[in-house]
Amino acid sequence: MKRDHIIIVGAHLQGYFMRVETFPKEDETVIGWDFKEALDGGKGSHQAIACARLGIPTYFVGKVGNDRLGKRGIQWMKEAGVNLRYLKITNDKPTGAGFVMINPKGVPAITSAMGANEDLSIGELESAKEAFLRSSYLMVSLEIPVDIGLYACKLGKKYDTNVILNPAPSKLLVGKSLKDVDILTPNTAEAKTILGIDPDENVEPKILAEEISKKFGINKIAISLGANGAFTYENGSCWSIPLVKVKTLDTPGAGDAFNSGIVLGLMKGLSFKDSVQVGCLAGGYAVTIRESIPSFPTLEQLKKSAEEKNIKIVEKF
C-alpha cells in the first residue's frame, strides 16, 4: 500500500478571541475588546488543515460534539480537503472550546475546555488502521487525553509510520515514556516542562535538546523559538535556523503551521534540518495574517513567500 498520506491525531476546539492590554492576574478583571468567534480550532484540526492546504493528503482522527461548533469545524476541514472518515461525532459531550486573550504584542494566553476531545478512545484509534497503513507520518498533539495520544504513537510504531509528537500541553507528559516517538517538536517552554526545568530558567536550546535526547531516546528534535526561528537537533548534530523577519500580527496557529511545514519537507524528501527551515517559512507566513485558519499557507503561497525572501529550499516542490 502506497504511503503518501499523513494521519493527524488530536483535538478540535472552537476558538473565542479577545484583545487585552494586559493579561489578568489572580482575582483581577481587565477590560478587553475585539471579541470574536474566530476561524480558529484546536491543535489537531489546525495541523490537519495546515497539512492539507500544503497539498499533503491528510487524515484527521478526533472527536467533536453533535452541535453547531462541531459542524463548523467539520466544514473548515472539508474545505481544506482533510479526509474525515475517522472523525467521530458524539451526542455525549459538546465540541471543545478555547478562550484566547491576545496582548498588544500578538502573544496569546489560552484556556480550553476539552469537551468531546476527552472521550476519544483506543478503539476509535484502532479503527483507523487503514489510515495508519497509508501514512508515512503520524502527528500527535495532546489536547486529547495523554494516554490516548501516546497510544496513537504506539500504533504509529506498530504500523511502521514515522511518529511526530507536538508535546502541547507538555505538563501531561511529565513521568511518561516517549519511546515510540521519532521526532519531537516542542517550543522552549514545553521542552523545559518535560525535563522538569523551571520555565523561567534560562537554558540554551542546545542543552534542552541534548537532555531530551538523553532522557527520552529521541534523536530528532525541533525546538521552535518564536521570532528567533528554530533549533534543530539530529543524532548529536545541531543547527540554529533563523526566521526571516516579518511583521507579526498574530501568533496563534503559528506553531501548527511550523509543524505542517516540517512534514511537507520530510514528505518531499528533504533532510530534517531543511524540513525545519520549511517549517520556519510556514510559521513566519502564518504570523503575518490574523486568525489561525486563514493564516495557513497553500503550497503556492509558501513558494511565493520563499521567492520573496530569496529562500531556495522549496523551489522544486
State the DSSP string of 241-273: EPPPP---S--TTHHHHHHHHHHHHHHTT--HH
* 83 three-state secondary structure: strand
What is the predicted pLDDT for the residue at 118? 96
Q: Point out the least confidently predicted range of 130-139, 246-255, 257-266.
A: 246-255
d(CA 175, CA 156) in angstroms, rounded, equals 21
Report pLDDT digits (tens) over 131-184. Answer: 999 999 999 999 999 999 999 999 999 999 999 999 988 887 888 999 999 999
Distance CA 138, CA 263 (A): 9
Residue carrying C-alpha cell 521519532: 182
The bridge status of strand 230-234 relative to strand 237-241 is: antiparallel
pTM: 0.93
Assigned superfamily of 5-22+34-308: Ribokinase (3.40.1190.20)
In the predicted model, what is the mean pLDDT of the chain? 95
| Percent over 90 (pLDDT), the chain | 82
pLDDT bin (cut points 50, 70, 90) of residue 245 is confident
Domain ranges of the chain: 5-22+34-308
Report the distance separating Cα 108 and Cα 102, nearest Å.
Answer: 4
| Position 244 confidence tier, pLDDT thresholds 50, 70, 90 | confident
Alpha-carbon distances of 196 from 78, 204, 211, 309, rounded to whole Å: 39, 15, 11, 38
Mean pLDDT of the region 89-101: 95
- Bridge pairing between strands 230-234 and 220-224: antiparallel
Give the pLDDT confidence of 32-91 residue by residue, as tens digits.
Answer: 999 999 898 899 999 999 999 999 999 999 999 999 999 999 999 999 999 999 999 999
Rg (CA), the chain: 18
Q: What is the 3-state secondary structure (H, E, C) of 140-177?
A: EECCCCHHHHHHHHHHHHHCCCEEEEECCCHHHHCCCC
More confident position, 218 or 1: 218
Q: Give percent above pLDDT 70 in the chain.
A: 100
Would you state the pLDDT for residue 70? 97
pLDDT value for 314: 85
The helix/strand/coil state of 288 is coil
Does the pLDDT of residue 1 top 80, yes or no? no
Q: Where does the pLDDT of residue 110 fall: very low under 50, low under 70, confident under 90, or very high at 90 and above?
A: confident
Mean pLDDT score, 222-239: 96
Which pLDDT does position 251 carry in this prediction? 84
Is the CB of residue 124 less than 8 Å from the CB of residue 86? yes
